[in-house]
Amino acid sequence: MTVAPIEDDLLAPQDWSFPVPIAYGPGRLAEMGERCAAMGLKNPLIVTDRGSRDLPFIGQLQEVLAGAGLGSAVFSDVSPNPRDDEIGAGRAMFREGGHDAVIAIGGGSAMDGGKSVCLTAANEIDLWDFDFDKTPPDMRGQPAFPTLICIPTTAGTGAETESTGMVTHVGRGMKLCVWHPELKPSLALLDPALTVGLPRNLTAWTGADALTHAIEAYSVPGFNPLCDGLALQALTLIARWLPVAVEEPENLEARGGMLAGSCLAGIAFLKGLGMVHAISHMVGAEYDTQHGLTNAVVLPQVVRFNLPVLGDKPARMAEAMGLGALSGEEFASHVEGILDGLGIPRSLKEIGVPDDCAARIAGKAIQDVAATTNPRQATEAEIQALIEAALTQARPG
């Protein structure tokens, strides 16, 4: 029996029901009006980031909603690393406009901002009561969360199927995770056409983010065959399509393969993440660096730090990427080669991170929930050493 290669289906519409309803396919943004109307929505609030506010997909979405008789407004006061004070402004706009849903559209920051607004829009609960490290608020007697719809326009964050969002706590200078288990997206819409206009550098940086998610999720200890299987399939798609998407930005198959791979990697990290994210979150909170780019710079140091405890996982990841069963060292070198091909800088200093921050960032990173699921537990001194290496020479070159 001949099995059709997976890329044969990347231009065809697909509907998936796991873990939330997912509509995949080029051009499917055009369905948003009828889909929202079918959900009984009248006036959704569109949440995006400042950099996306004037991009064509915002106007297209509003036109589609208006065509179905729905009102809408746009909240775009969201930073590349969303801040808690911005979430409060979004909550106020939701209430003042009489909105009944949140459509988070854009990259990772738009997803984080939109989900955080949705957590707080209909209740009087403080945003930080939804901190992932705390017991979730008891929602009995509280208004239901508004309907949440997520539309990613980059193939990297994979944040479209869960309620988790990363927000900078301005007072503490730390990036923390907020969520609630009762908030789930009612729809994740994956339209590869929305990612075609992404610049080469952002395609590379967000793609490296998806790569990091898959590697870190698969490396997390514990038996979770669902997440592990998704992580490996994500690596198959990312290894095949990321270089093509960077070199051929109009290639819709490549954009579709990356969007699907990013989504799978995002679901996989329900299992947990690792020290790359623990460090990157705190660097981003302090220096407002682009998240995927920061991950990409830090990734090689953490991969090599974890190798002694990963067993056969590097070989299995390499096989998923079509490389055969590589050794741990060979796998690490291959990952570094991918980053070289993407033009990723070789140090945090090159992306504006000062060289005197390692001790302070390490003290914050060890508190990050992602540090607890790193496969090799690290002391604060070891984390500081990883940061110091990433500041000067994150990988050979």
- Stated as kind and residue range, the H or E segment containing 189 is strand 187-190
Domains of the chain in sequence order: 6-194 (3.40.50.1970), 200-392 (1.20.1090.10)
Residue with tokens 């969007």: 259
Task: Give pLDDT tens digits along the chain (397 positions).
Answer: 333 345 458 999 999 999 999 999 999 999 999 999 999 999 999 999 998 999 999 999 999 999 999 999 999 999 988 999 999 999 999 999 999 999 999 999 999 999 999 999 999 999 999 999 999 999 999 999 999 999 999 999 899 999 999 999 999 999 999 999 999 999 999 999 999 989 999 999 999 999 999 999 999 999 999 999 999 999 999 999 999 999 999 999 999 999 999 999 999 999 999 999 999 999 999 999 999 999 999 999 999 999 999 999 999 999 999 999 899 999 999 999 999 999 999 999 999 999 999 999 999 999 999 999 999 999 999 999 999 999 999 999 7
In the chain, the amino acid numbered 306 is: N
Q: Which of 252, 218, 221, 251 is nearest to 235 (CA)?
A: 218
Contact by Cβ (8 Å): 29, 61: yes
pTM: 0.94
Report pLDDT for 351.
Answer: 97
- Stated as kind and residue range, the H or E segment containing 15 is strand 14-16
Q: How far is 82 from 50, CA to CA, in rounded Å?
A: 10
The gap from C-alpha 238 to its chain's centroid, in whole angstroms, comes to 14
Report pLDDT for 397.
Answer: 79
Report pLDDT for 373.
Answer: 97
Helix ranges, the chain (H): 32-38, 56-67, 84-96, 108-120, 200-219, 225-247, 252-268, 275-287, 291-306, 313-320, 328-341, 358-365, 369-372, 380-392
- DSSP letters, 96-160, are HTT--EEEEEESHHHHHHHHHHHHHTTS---GGGGBTTSPPP--TTSPPPPEEEEEESSSS---T
Q: How far is 207 from 61, CA to CA, in rounded Å?
A: 24
In the chain, the amino acid numbered 180 is: H
Cα 211–213–219 angle (5° rounding)? 105
Q: How far is 225 from 327, CA to CA, in rounded Å?
A: 22
Contact by Cβ (8 Å): 65, 72: yes
Contact by Cβ (8 Å): 352, 260: no
Q: How far is 47 from 180, CA to CA, in rounded Å?
A: 19
In the chain, the amino acid numbered 24 is: Y
CA atoms within 13 A on the CB side of 119: 31
In this structure, are strands 174-178 and 165-169 parallel, antiparallel, or unpaired? antiparallel
Report pLDDT for 375.
Answer: 98
Q: How far is 3 from 218, CA to CA, in rounded Å?
A: 26
Residue with tokens 């309803």: 21
Q: Which of 171, 183, 164, 181 is nearest to 113 (CA)?
A: 164
